[in-house]
Each structure stands twice: as C-alpha cells, then as structure tokens.
Amino acid sequence: MSARLNYYGNPVGAKFQKYINSAGKAVADSTLPAATQFLCMIRASQINGCAVCLDMHTKDAEHAGETSVRLNLVAAWREAKVFTDAERAALELTEQGTRIADGAGGVTDEAWANAAKHYDEDQLAALVSLIACINAYNRMNAITQQLAGDYQPGQWG
C-alpha cells in the first residue's frame, strides 16, 4: 500500500502545510490545556478516520504524560468517567464541529453554552481553531491516503 500523493514532499503541499502549521501554533501557544487539545484532535481524527493523525496525536499525548486508559476511552468519552466536565464539553464541541456535514444541524447552542461555562473567550477561540485545523489535516491525509504507524513523538516539532 502506498499513498496517492507525496503531499508533504510536493512543493504546493509543503507550502500549504507550512501555513497551516503556523495557524496551529496559535492554538498550541494558547491557554487551552494541552490535554484537551490532544483529546479533541484524537476524537476528530477518529470520526474522520485519519490514521496518520491518530498515530501522531496518541503518541504525542502519551509522550506528554497522557494515560493509556484515557486515550483508549476517547471514542467512548460519554460513558467513561475519566474525563473532566470541561474535557467533555470540548469533546462535544469537537464532535459537533466535525460532523457539520452529517446533517446533524451543526453545533447546538447547548454545546456552545456548555463549552463557554468551562473556557474563556481566548480558549474558545483556540478550541474552534483547533477543530478547524485538525479537520483540515484529517482531510488532507484521508484524501491522499497517507500511511500511518511510523510516527515518532515530536517528529514534526
């Protein structure tokens, strides 16, 4: 099996990746907790079936100290007692923001209000930006069928 396109080795793809990474740095440098960022990137990547992002973000999260129990339960976060109320609100916003095209009606006022109870305006901006960014990466990788499994923690900076 091989990727359809060496997206990261292509001049246009590499340039786009450079700019999207710059946008993602605003999120990484925000006060949105790193654990929340990882959980949301993992959940969006699960929904979108992006093996590359799952490989990267689960390994980076584990390297940063996240537990295997929490990582293994992200897909079933509603039934797991290992997530905080704030993390649950972020995961709900991530799911609804990722599934916009599924006919679910977009992001509900309830999901937004719940997230707003736990995060300040800057953190909400970071969360929305994170959801947009990871969905873009998921689509790039899924469309070009990038292969996963050999990512090393911190490989991309």
Which pLDDT band, with edges at 50, 70 and 90, does 95 fall under?
Answer: very high
By three-state DSSP, how is residue 21 classified?
A: helix
Q: What is the pLDDT of residue 106?
A: 87
Q: Domain locations in the chain? A: 11-144
Q: Would you say residue 28 has pLDDT above 80?
A: yes
What are the Cα distances from residue 115, in Å, to 17, 18, 40, 128? Answer: 29, 30, 13, 11
Mean pLDDT estimate for the chain: 94
For 38, what's the count of Cα atoms within 13 Å in the CB-facing half-sphere?
Answer: 24
Global pTM value = 0.94
| % of the chain beyond a pLDDT of 70 | 98
pLDDT at 157: 65
Tell me the CATH architecture of domain 11-144: Up-down Bundle (1.20)
Find the mean pLDDT for residues 123-141. Answer: 97
- Tell me phi and psi for residue 107, to 5 degrees: -85, 125
